[in-house]
Amino acid sequence: MKRALAAALALGLAAAANAAPVDDLTAALRQARTLAARGDAEVSVFFPPRAVPTRTAARLPTVPFYPALLTRNFTVTRQDASAPIAGREVTRYDLTPRVGQAARWTLWIDRVWNVPLAYEERKPGGLLARRAAFTRVDPQPLRIKRPLPPIPVGLRAAVLKALPGLRFPPGFVPVSAEDREGGGVTVSLSDGVNVLALVVAPRNVRAAPGVASRRVGGRFVWLVGNLPDTPLKQALAQIREADPTPLGTFLPTHDSKR
């Protein structure tokens, strides 16, 4: 087992040595689906605001990165980090959106394990939205299974049929759909890194930063996420109808015996 792990790490390092920054980063993110650091991490979330923004965890919270979308929508730069993370040498990757006003990201990747040890998300103006970083790691990474579901074929067309007139914010595409507790449907939009929640619901949502909503017929449509108010509102402004029926085939099936 240890030999197999060492061989996998060596192959990852060899590939990284000849890769462009975006290829290097996406290789690390793919590796993070099967290998993860474990130890003590500090996780701070400042958007959306919460009473206690910082907590501790044994692993970094999962961020659903989509490598193909990331490559298309972000410029990735790489540099040696000025300081180690949890006593380990890391490489820093900065992700800057090519279009729109999406959040910027920075990730710190372990140079030997080739998995993330820290990341942070910043609003377009530079304000920190969240950060997660290890303060201590175990001597060896942990083998895990964290597959990334493929983007369903036809989901984009179904969303536009359910919400004619919807304009996706630049770079964002629908990647999944699910039933919403309390009624309605939530569609997750991703640009490869950032995630927006597009909701069709029987009730409205409370106004707040990062939340846009409007009534369409007898339903409400919300768009929630780390974007300025203007692009959120523009995405919903021309919706003519809200009927989630076309999304039915993309919703998870539930076992009636449970």
Tell me how far apart the alpha carbons of residues 62 and 9 are, in angstroms, rounded to a whole number: 21
| Whole-number pLDDT of residue 34 | 97
Asked if 113 and 229 sit in the same domain, the reply is no
Helix H or strand E segment including 25: helix 21-31
CATH of the domain at 194: 3.30.200
| Whole-number pLDDT of residue 72 | 96
- Domain count for the chain: 2
Q: What are the residues whose beta carbons fall under 8 Å from the beta carbon of 125, sequence distance 6 or more?
A: none
Asked if 17 and 134 sit in the same domain, the reply is yes
- Residue at a domain's end among 118, 143, 168: 143
Asked if 164 and 245 sit in the same domain, the reply is yes
Taking residues 6-29, report their average pLDDT.
71
Residues of the chain with pLDDT > 70: what percent?
A: 91
In a domain, 258, yes or no: no
Asked if 43 and 120 sit in the same domain, the reply is yes
| Whole-number pLDDT of residue 177 | 97
Tell me how far apart the alpha carbons of residues 96 and 6 are, in angstroms, rounded to a whole number: 33
Residues of the chain with pLDDT > 90: what percent?
A: 83
What would the two tokens of residue 10 be? 């060596």
Q: Is residue 6's pLDDT more than 90?
A: no
Asked if 10 and 54 sit in the same domain, the reply is yes
Of 8-22, 78-92, 95-109, 192-206, the poorest mean pLDDT is in 8-22
In a domain, 149, yes or no: no
Q: Tell me which residue range forms the domain holding 14.
A: 2-143
In a domain, 150, yes or no: no
- Residue at a domain's end among 143, 173, 198: 143
Asked if 55 and 134 sit in the same domain, the reply is yes
Q: Is residue 75's pLDDT more than 90?
A: yes
Of 43-47, 159-163, 181-185, 196-200, the poorest mean pLDDT is in 181-185
Q: Residue 243: exposed, middle, or buried by beta-carbon count in 10 A (0-12, 13-18, 19+)? A: middle
Higher pLDDT, 14 or 134: 134
| Whole-number pLDDT of residue 195 | 96
Note whether 169 and 232 are within 8 A (CB).
Answer: yes
Q: Is residue 199's pLDDT more than 90?
A: yes
**Beta-bridge mates of residue 93:** 78, 107
CATH of the domain at 92: 2.50.20.10
| Whole-number pLDDT of residue 257 | 44
Q: Give strand ranges (E) for the chain.
A: 35-36, 39-45, 54-57, 74-80, 90-97, 104-110, 116-122, 128-137, 142-143, 173-179, 185-190, 195-201, 211-216, 219-224
Asked if 108 and 180 sit in the same domain, the reply is no
- Of the pLDDT bands very low, low, confident and very high (cuts 50, 70, 90), residue 125 is confident
Which of the listed ranges 9-13, 44-48, 119-123 does the model predict with the highest average pLDDT?
119-123
Q: Is residue 214's pLDDT more than 70?
A: yes
In a domain, 148, yes or no: no
Taking residues 194-220, report their average pLDDT.
95
Asked if 90 and 186 sit in the same domain, the reply is no
- Of the pLDDT bands very low, low, confident and very high (cuts 50, 70, 90), residue 9 is low
Beta strands 128-137; 116-122: pairing state = antiparallel
Convert the pLDDT of each residue in 133-191 to its tens digit: 999 999 999 999 999 999 999 999 999 999 999 999 999 999 999 999 888 999 999 99
| Whole-number pLDDT of residue 29 | 96
Neighbours of 228 (CB within 10 A): 16
Tell me how far apart the alpha carbons of residues 95 and 227 are, in angstroms, rounded to a whole number: 16
Asked if 13 and 82 sit in the same domain, the reply is yes
Q: Is residue 124's pLDDT more than 90?
A: no
Longest CA–CA span in the chain (Å) reads 61
